[in-house]
Chain A
Amino acid sequence: MRELLQIIFDALSLGSLYALGALGIALIFGVMRLVNFAHGDFIAFCVFAMLWPSIDAAAVVFAGRLPFYLLIPLLLLIGAALSILSEVVVFRRFRNANPATMMIASFALGFVIRHLLLMLFSSRPKSITLWPSLGLPVEFLGAHIPMLQVVTIIITLAVLVILVLFLKRTRYGLEMRAAADNFTMARMLGVRANGVILLAFAISGMLAAAIGLILATNSGTADIGMGANVMLIAFIATVIGGLGSIPGAVAAGFLIGAASVVFQATLPHDARVFRDAFVYGAVIVVLLVRPQGLFAPKSAKQRV
């Protein structure tokens, strides 16, 4: 029972991380059919924004020293600003490009951000301590669960609730959903393309900052490549969830997180190092059964 509870919490917290990432990618994909490969580097950028540029191993904490009620909004702002900047400077010019071209452009942008960070901070991972009290376990029905896992799950749920309210109850949310469903039609009915796209990028950037904060608190290090893994899984989750479907992306994020944890717990010991191979294999199987994704919106069906 205790072990089962531990597995459930592991699955939920890992899934939360993937779900937040998938959300950030799905929002942008919805409005402009761009798979943003720079998302992982946005995450890393937000983490490094807490540090002062230096190539020493010991991190010189800069913004990270602020109290949390200032630090969190600041980082969200940085994430949103970076994301908006990338849209204004780069992606705006790719609106009508082939998706493959857009994908490569986003990858190139991520490449630039990553090497900018490398230049400023060197490739050595830096230790960074944020809120050490979150690492302490709390007792829950007899299981010891790290406080951070609970916080991660709560934050994710809160973000999801806020986003759902935003998408369902506000005018901008409605516009964004309309744009995700059929962008051309939405524009013809008076949705401002630039506004919706900028908003999607801003939210996506804030989500990247949130993931960065959770990752940095969890691992205690800032590493250039830290966002890449989340980005990959998030990307896969958006496809499995059905491209263009925002709830699908979230659900698939949780599903992949759960699958990873379950494989980790149930595979025989020798096969555990091959966990990721099983996860990717499962992804291929899911795609073969449901090529449109698990929760494909009606508009994603190919019409002949």
Chain B
Amino acid sequence: MSQRPSVIRQTIITPIVLIVALLIMAALTYQFGSRAFNRTVVEMFINIMVVVGLYVFVGNSGLLSFGHISFMCLGAYTTAWLTIPPVMKSITLKGLPTWLLHAQLPMWVATPISGLFAALFALIVGRVIMRLSGIAASIATFGLLGVINNVYSNWDSVTGGQGSIVGIPPTMNVWTGWIGGGVAIAIAYLYSISRSGLALRATRDEAVAASASGIDIVRERLIAFVVSAFIIGLAGALYAHFLSIVNPGAFYLRTTFITLSMLVVGGMYSLSGAVSGVVAISVLIELFRNLEKGISLGGHIIGLPNGAQEIAIGIITIVILMYLPTGLTRNREFSWRRWPLQRRIPRPVQTALKELH
């Protein structure tokens, strides 16, 4: 047998640590958390899915994508079409084809279908967009976001237009959220140790050498694009179940930038970074939300003025990036040996950065 240490043996600890940490959070929340806190944690799990999905593409390929939230939109609306009771659909969404109008699937069937739909869409548009590289690719994904948002905001008979579609069964709790987050982390991990994931990271770090070694950059990028679209499509579906309404405004610039900030704050080239960025920002948001409500000090309630939450989070994001430009985890993964955070994922060298310029 070969003496080569297996990739799995070396790295399996990362997803396990992450999933177990999330499990502990879910269990504590379920046991002690209030109703409102439960919702916060579910939202965090959904954000983890989105950001992990983003990491699969952005982290492995080194290309920034502004378009992934459109896959969330696709997933959410597909779930809405599949799970809203036919009676309600026939009033609000008259333009749906008949077979879809009469369909009503349970959540555990509708969610994977939503992910597959997003992935299929990514496969079609990715074949075109992935031929680009550098900032042109980022802008093209941006164009994708614009197109999807415009179509979903205006195709009234199928998507309900600017308004919200109501009636998606609200079936989310911390456990389903945790399962979603765990599935996302598992898929992202499996992708990153797969042949394609390794090849794609090679193109990120040294594009010329990678393609000279026979790696088809466009193909590997496309695979990552489709896998990440699948994860984000799942996240969109769970988000629809979480809010039980969908509207196109939720899947546009604000979400795009907040999720990207989470990824960059955590460390965009590592799976641990993706997860810890979401956790860090979510904790901050919750903290300042409570400060805004006010804390009582000697009989007086002292609270920050409304809106201070966003301002503080913006400032803290800037400060974190100022002092840790590679994110909280410095692009490393959690690992067992030399705990904590010792093993380094090699930093991309100058050639890969050049492409982003």
Contact = CB atoms under 8 A, between A and B. Distances in A.
Q: Chain A contact residues: over half helix, strand or loop, or mixed?
A: helix
A304 B305 CA distance: 54
A293 B134 CA distance: 12
Interface string A276-295: 11011101100110011100
Interface in A227-249: 228, 232, 235-236, 239-240, 243
Contacts, number: 136
Given A99-B356, A288-B132, A119 B150 contact: no
Interface string A81-97: 00000000010011001
Contacts of B64: 99-100, 103
Contact of B253 (A228, A239, A240): A228
A94 B265 CA distance: 14
Interface string B299-322: 000000111101101110110011
Contact of B151 (A33, A119, A274): A274
Given A101-B325, A277-B150, A108 B317 contact: yes
Interface stretch (B36-44, B89-97, B136-144): B136-144
A115 B264 contact: no
Main secondary structure of the interface of B (DSSP, over half): helix
Interface string B144-172: 10110011001000000000000000000
Interface residues of B, number: 47
A162 interface: no
A299 to B, nearest CB: 11
Contacts of B184: none
B318 A292 contact: no
19 contacts: A94-B325, A99-B353, A99-B356, A104-B265, A105-B318, A105-B321, A108-B314, A111-B314, A112-B310, A112-B314, A119-B305, A243-B135, A277-B147, A277-B150, A283-B139, A283-B143, A284-B147, A287-B143, A291-B132
Sorted nearest first, the 10 A-B pairs with minimum C-beta distance are A280-B146, A112-B314, A119-B307, A115-B310, A280-B143, A277-B150, A273-B154, A111-B314, A108-B317, A276-B150
Interface of A: 33, 37, 90, 93-94, 97-101, 103-105, 107-109, 111-112, 115-116, 118-119, 228, 232, 235-236, 239-240, 243, 273-277, 279-281, 283-284, 287-288, 291-293, 302, 304
